[in-house]
Amino acid sequence: MSAPDQRTTTPTLERPTLSLRGVNKSFGAVQVLHDVHLDVYPGTVTALVGDNGAGKSTLIKSIAGIHPIDSGTVEFEGEPVQLNGPRDAARLGIEVVYQDLALADNLDVVQNMFLGRERKRGILLDEASMEEAARDTLAKLSVRTLKSVRQLVSSLSGGQRQTVAIAKAVLWESKLVILDEPTAALGVAQTRQVLDLVRRLADTGHAVVFITHNMVDVFEVADRVAALYLGRVAADVPISEVDRTQVIELITSGRSGELGLAPDALED
């Protein structure tokens, strides 16, 4: 909380990159998401917090098009959109970095960043232009820890792998980047690197959704915090309006003083 004022922009005046209204999602008899409202703003890191089973994974998979929603509306940059598959999401500029990173160990950094969307000249792979673009993207994100962009991913540390996965998401002129617990398995120094990178993602104009269980990370890097409780959004507020205790209460009970769900909201 060293300098919260700098981060407290007035995002409500801006148009959200992604806007969810009344989103519901069930798997069979189990309703996982209830009437979810969520706004994600460009240049802003939104921390998505919630206990295990609160619906964080389902929510991001819905946004990624992997689990299409049952009802409710999704607006992307003000336009209503249908997200019926990962390709729909990718076309809009939504990129998800999953916890397992989805990198191929036997390919190098450039090859991984362009996997599935290789640049070609005729039938040939255009290695030169891919290498340049990969290097540009990494440089833009001020990534200094990689020795070579032609290093095999198998030789990278956990933090470097996370970095490559994030850079891969950024390469595609993405507007919204969703990060699923990017610091979960990292040491102190590597967590630092990744948090810096998350901050730079937002500073370069991306809307960032950042899933984490770590309160230190939330207050370190987030501009807004959205807390999920049993599939409902308990709060979606600027980070300056809450403190750590309140966020933990929102996660564990869905309420904290004036904030959070009305007591009767959980009855149904």
CA dihedral (206, 209, 215, 218) in degrees, to 10, reads: 20
Residue from 149, 201, 230, 235 touching another protein (CB under 8 A): that is 149
Task: Give the distance, in angstroms, between the CA of residue 198 and the centroid of all CA atoms in the same chain.
Answer: 9
Question: Order of strands across the sheet with 94-97?
Answer: 94-97, 176-180, 207-211, 45-50, 224-229, 232-238
By CB atoms closer than 10 A (0-12, 13-18, 19+), residue 105 is exposed
CB of 209 to another protein, least distance (A): 18
Tokens of residue 103, six digits: 């990198």
Name the one range near another protein by CB under 8 A: 128-136, 199-207, 212-220, 242-250.
128-136
- Return the residues of window 69-98 that contact another protein according to CB under 8 A: 86-87, 90, 98
Taking only Cα atoms into account, the Rg of the chain, rounded to an integer number of angstroms, comes to 19
- CB neighbours of 149 closer than 8 A, spacing ≥ 6? 108, 109, 110, 131, 134, 135, 138
Considering the complex, state which of residue 51 and residue 127 has its C-beta at the smaller distance from another protein.
Answer: 127
Amino acid occupying residue 70: D
Spatial distance between the Cα atoms of 131 and 149, rounded to a whole number of angstroms: 7
Binding piece for another protein, criterion CB under 8 A, among 6-14, 143-151, 192-200, 243-251? 143-151
Q: Which stretch binds another protein (CB under 8 A): 54-62, 76-84, 124-132, 214-222?
A: 124-132
Kindly state whether residue 100 participates in binding another protein, applying the rule CB under 8 A. Answer: yes
Of these, 15, 22, 53, 147, which contacts another protein (CB under 8 A)? Answer: 147
DSSP state of 15: P
245 binds another protein (CB under 8 A): no
When asked if residue 188 is in the footprint of another protein (CB under 8 A), the reply is: no
**Is 103 a residue that touches another protein (CB under 8 A)?**
yes
Residue from 14, 105, 203, 243 in contact with another protein (CB under 8 A): 105
Residues 169 and 163: their CA atoms lie apart, in Å, by: 10
**Among residues 14, 132, 203, 243, the one that binds another protein under rule CB under 8 A:** 132
Contact criterion met (CB below 8 Å) for 89 and 65: yes
Question: Please, which residue, 181 or 236, has the CB nearer to another protein?
Answer: 181
Interface residues with another protein (CB under 8 A) are 86-87, 90, 98, 100-107, 111, 115-118, 120, 123-125, 127-128, 131-132, 135, 138-139, 142-151, 154-157
